[in-house]
Amino acid sequence: MMDINSTQDHTTQQIKNIVLIGFMGSGKTVVGRCLARMMDFEFVDTDEEIEDVTGLPIARLLKKYGETRFRSEEELVLKKLLKRSGLIIAIGGNLNMENRNLELLKEGSFFVLLKAEPEVLYQRLRRKNTRPLLGGNPTIDRVKQLLSERENRYELLADYFLNTSDVTVDEAAEMIIKEYNKNILLEDEEGVSEFRSNRENKI
């Protein structure tokens, strides 16, 4: 786990964070890790931070203590991240719009919404059993239903939308970097914008 309390690194340079939001299975973690590698930023997955702090996998935490506890842990993680810049942050798919820290994070960050067709999300998710809110046995209808409940929330926050249904991880990361560079003034833009993809990785 990275040290999210640290104030060194990018803080003084004021490099904007990139925050990845979107439904489960949209590629936030895998694209986030790739972006971090390409841009030499640090990657933080809020779910992983929560797991680390509580010592419980998210599925267990939700089952044992419920969503309220999950929410408060998520708020604490986001609060700590507000002090940092130059990060790639992936936030769990069930965004809490009441979370004031999310609003504050938005001020210093470029928010990217990763999207995918419901069928694609379903195919990606059915292989795993780590998303309790989808139920033990996710169905395409459940994915569609949750997606329609959440789409508005995601879109309200997004500065840029990217459909990951049919792109590789590297392609997705490159598109985000391009957009980030267009929108954000970087102190060292050269190193970032010169990046070229070298792998064909499916999300």
Q: Residues interacting with ligand S3P, by CB under 6 A?
A: 24, 28, 47, 58, 92-94, 131-133
Token pair 């929330």: residue: 153
Minimum CB separation from ligand S3P for residue 66, in Å? 12
Q: How far is the CB of 183 from ligand S3P (least distance, A)?
A: 24
> Minimum Å distance from CB 54 to ligand S3P?
13
Residue 34: phi and psi, rounded to 5, are: -65, -45
Q: Considering beta carbons, is residue 92 or 118 the nearer one to ligand S3P?
A: 92
Q: Which two tokens stand for residue 109?
A: 């960050």
Q: Which residues contact 145 (CB under 8 A, 6 or more apart)?
A: none
**Residue closer to ligand S3P (CB basis): 58 or 102:** 58
C-beta of 77 vs 167, nearer to ligand S3P: 77
Calpha distance 126→110 (Å, rounded): 30
Q: Which long-range contacts (CB under 8 A, 24 or more apart) does 71-79 make?
A: 71/96, 71/99, 74/46, 74/50, 74/99, 75/99, 75/101, 77/4, 77/46, 77/49, 77/50, 77/53, 78/46, 78/102, 78/105
Q: How far is the CB of 8 from ligand S3P (least distance, A)?
A: 27
CB of 179 to ligand S3P, least distance (A): 21
Burial of residue 28 (CB within 10 Å: 0-12, 13-18, 19+) is buried
* Smallest separation (angstroms) from ligand S3P to the CB of 93: 3
Locate 192 and state its tokens. Answer: 């970032």
Residue closer to ligand S3P (CB basis): 13 or 130: 130
Closer residue to ligand S3P in complex, CB, 28/84: 28
Q: List, as one string, the DSSP characters of 9-34.
A: TTGGGTPPEEEEEESTTSSHHHHHHH
Residue 122 or 192 with smaller CB distance to ligand S3P: 122
